[in-house]
Amino acid sequence: MSSSEDGVDVTERIPLAEPSIGGNAATYLQECLETNFVSSVGPFVTRFEREFAAVVGARFAVACASGTAAIHLALLALDVGMGDDVLVSTLTFVASVNPIAYVGAAPVVVDSETATYNLDPALVVNELERRARLGLRQPAAIEVVHLVGHPADIAPIIEAGSRHGVPVIEDASEALGATWTAGPYAGRHVGTLGRAGVFSFNGNKLITTGGGGMLITDDEALARRARHLSTQARLPGLAYDHDDVGYNYRLTNIAAALGVAQLEELPRLLDARRAMAARYDDALSGLPMLAAPKAPWADPSYWLYTCRLDPSRTAVTRDALIAGLARLGIEARPIWTPIHETRLYADAARLGGEVASAIAATACSLPSSASLTPALQERVINRLGELLLG
């Protein structure tokens, strides 16, 4: 017989992030089955693109098979290729970087700043100015990652990129719903400031299509090029003729139907994530050895509530904390391994890396599902206190 605390079954496993699927999902999926529109040809694909673009405030959207595919298409549409450099955050999931290798370019990984864990804009600006001063070739693109739902400090990067002719791609895969609240881009949604923005709808994201992604842009030619490449670069007409090496990157109608239903639920899902974050923030005020990133100029979406242990305030390590929570049926995860610490990209050029390495050694993500009830979250908070305070 399982024990309980405050009416909560303490044997119930609490996952890190699970999907919350409801609303019209079943209705829209049934419509796909009844009409036989199940592949990438179907009305829900264009509907999802149109409605997603409207939600985030972009002119165009291209539905893709994954967020990784969307980054790949953005790089291709910007003519990034062999011999080019691309500046990219080092503290990110490897899918942000692999498409750079797909096109034959070289990643130059950029260190983090401590306030938000995102890439340090000063390092980006200084690198562009250094190259200009020395007459060196500029990077072909800058890929800004909005990590775990928190907007990056992007204004200096946009300005420097514009001044030096370097386009910006925003990897907003983890940050749907996040906005800037102050500064020149107050009220703008992540993904809408660069030449292209990218989102992911993987199973654990804020909204999900099971797997899928979206490329957004205000550049009509870029959107047209990305959409063309996503459908094997097939030319119009009955004949199977192609004018470029294309890719099978178009989202299916079934996945898009789920996306439309999830998009309708987005306000509810964001409200739940932000309420969850507020409860954690309040709890962490009593645990001074833990702190979460939050800048006063941003409204994060809290895909994953991520916090960092202060080694000067506790002898408990990040890995010991995660292991202790796991023994109690609570899933927590370390933040991403910095790209420069992976075997795959250990030799990549980099700008710093020490800050990202320090964050990666001490930061972890706590259960963050929209379905996380206050009672279950209280269990997480209580267990955190026990593990950290003894």
Asked whether the predicted pLDDT for residue 2 surpasses 80, the reply is no
Q: Please give the pLDDT value at position 40.
A: 84
Asked whether the predicted pLDDT for residue 6 surpasses 80, the reply is no
Cβ(188)–Cβ(57) under 8 Å?
A: yes
Alpha helices by DSSP H, listed for the chain, are 25-35, 43-56, 67-77, 98-102, 121-134, 155-164, 220-230, 253-264, 266-284, 318-327, 354-362, 374-389
Tens digit of each residue's pLDDT (9 = 90 or more) over 340-378: 999 999 999 999 999 999 999 999 999 999 999 999 999
Q: How many C-beta neighbours within 10 Å does residue 84 have?
A: 19
Q: Which of 9-18, 87-96, 124-133, 189-198 has the lowest mean pLDDT?
A: 9-18
Higher pLDDT: 217 or 8? It is 217
Q: Please give the pLDDT value at position 12.
A: 84
Q: Please give the pLDDT value at position 11.
A: 65
Per-residue confidence band for 1, with pLDDT thresholds at 50, 70 and 90: very low
Per-residue confidence band for 41, with pLDDT thresholds at 50, 70 and 90: confident
Tell me the one-letter amino acid at 364. Answer: C
Cβ(107)–Cβ(339) under 8 Å?
A: yes
Cβ(16)–Cβ(305) under 8 Å?
A: no
- C-alpha dihedral over 152, 156, 157, 163, to 10 degrees? 160
**Nearest to 145, CA basis, from 86, 206, 93, 70:** 93
CA distance 192 to 187: 11
Average pLDDT of span 271-286? 96
Query: In sequence order, what DSSP letters do the residues of 215-239 get, joined into one string?
Result: EEES-HHHHHHHHHHHBTTBPSSSS
* Half-sphere exposure for 147 (CA within 13 Å, toward CB): 35
Tens digit of each residue's pLDDT (9 = 90 or more) over 234-269: 999 988 999 999 999 999 999 999 999 999 999 999
Q: Please give the pLDDT value at position 10.
A: 54
Asked whether the predicted pLDDT for residue 9 surpasses 80, the reply is no
Q: Please give the pLDDT value at position 390.
A: 79
Q: Residues, the chain, total?
A: 390
Question: Can you give the C-alpha Rg of the chain in angstroms?
Answer: 21
Average pLDDT of span 275-279? 98
Q: Please give the pLDDT value at position 3.
A: 47
Query: In sequence order, what DSSP letters do the residues of 11-44 get, joined into one string?
Result: TS-B-S------TTHHHHHHHHHHHT--SS-SHH
Averaged pLDDT of the chain: 95
What phi, psi does 278 have (nearest 5°)?
-65, -40
